[in-house]
Amino acid sequence: MQPGPKQASAAQGRVVAAEVSQPRATQADAGRQGREFVNALERGLAVLATFGRGRERMTLSHVAQMTGLSRGTARRLLLTLSELNYVASDGKLFWLTPKVLHLGQGYLASFGRGEVATAIIKGVSEKLGESCSMAVLDGPDIVYVARVETQRVFSSRIDIGTRLPAHCSSLGRVLLAGLGEADLETWMARHPLHAWTEKTLVDPEKFRARIHEVRRLRYAIIDGELEVGSRSIAVPVLDRSDRTCAALNIGTSSARASLELMRRRFLPVLREAAQQIGSAIEGW
């Protein structure tokens, strides 16, 4: 999807709210607490994950509240991360340092970012005159791992790492269609379908039928389910075992492209690009 600047900001805020409401490190499932599980590492990562858009600089109390940790534990973790140069502080506020970017570089490298995938995505964007993105599934959300945005008066504010709800985005529908039936049922049981607009599909049976249709057609179209007036079309990026490892999409508006145009013109270009990306990136 490609929301406008205000809508994208609101969408990010709602996704953040949903993330914050999830159980934190101190409420981990008992099944994960084996002898090899390091609770301190989980808590440290939870502290790093707390920072984000709208939460760039936070106090100790805010970090403790967001993670569900005690002030003492949050303080020790923040000071340790500061000593390791992942976090900086002025004595009152804490914020991330550029060093945290190293944590994501290895993952992004697996998608050939800056080499193969981005060049292909840029070609799609230039050919169609619309923004083109690639994303993967992470829990209830999709996460953008590559993107080329067209130059317009207003930016969508979608960047690498932006999260949007999977159930009402074309990228998410394609990624969910790539799951096996048991995994899809598990995903639906864990992640309720919330309405973002009056057009959002939230009925479980109808949603399941739509995912099956996407699986059969190997593409998904979203029309106003995440933001009124926004449309997008997505296709799977398949690895060499024919499994969906990512999704590629074009985001546009109802004013710029009809659904018929998206199927007739956008879809063939996206499918060709997805095939090129899947074939070019080794190790998938």
Across 45-49, 58-62, 111-115, least confident range: 111-115
Same domain, 269 and 129: yes
Give the pLDDT mean for 33-47. Answer: 85
Total of domains in the chain? 2
Same domain, 196 and 90: no
Please name every residue paired with 231 in a beta bridge, in sequence order, or none if there are none.
Answer: 223, 252
User: Under 8 Å CB-to-CB from 119, ≥6 apart: which residues?
Assistant: none
Where does the pLDDT of residue 190 fall: very low under 50, low under 70, confident under 90, or very high at 90 and above?
very high
Q: What is the pLDDT of residue 12?
A: 47
Same domain, 238 and 115: yes
Same domain, 157 and 234: yes
Q: What is the pLDDT of residue 246?
A: 93
Same domain, 59 and 124: no
Q: What are the backbone angles phi and psi of residue 123, rounded to the nearest 5°?
A: -65, -40
Residue 47, domain CATH: 1.10.10.10
Q: Which domain holds residue 240?
A: 110-280
231 backbone φψ class: left, alpha, beta (φ>0; ψ -120 to 50): beta
Same domain, 268 and 150: yes
**DSSP string of 12-39?**
HHHHHHHHHTS--GGG--GGG-STT--H
Same domain, 198 and 177: yes
Across 128-137, 142-151, 170-179, 246-255, least confident range: 142-151
The C-alpha atoms of residue 237 and residue 245 are separated, in whole angstroms, by 6
Output the average pLDDT for the chain.
85
| Type of residue at 11 | A
Where does the pLDDT of residue 53 fall: very low under 50, low under 70, confident under 90, or very high at 90 and above?
confident
pTM score: 0.73
Same domain, 76 and 198: no
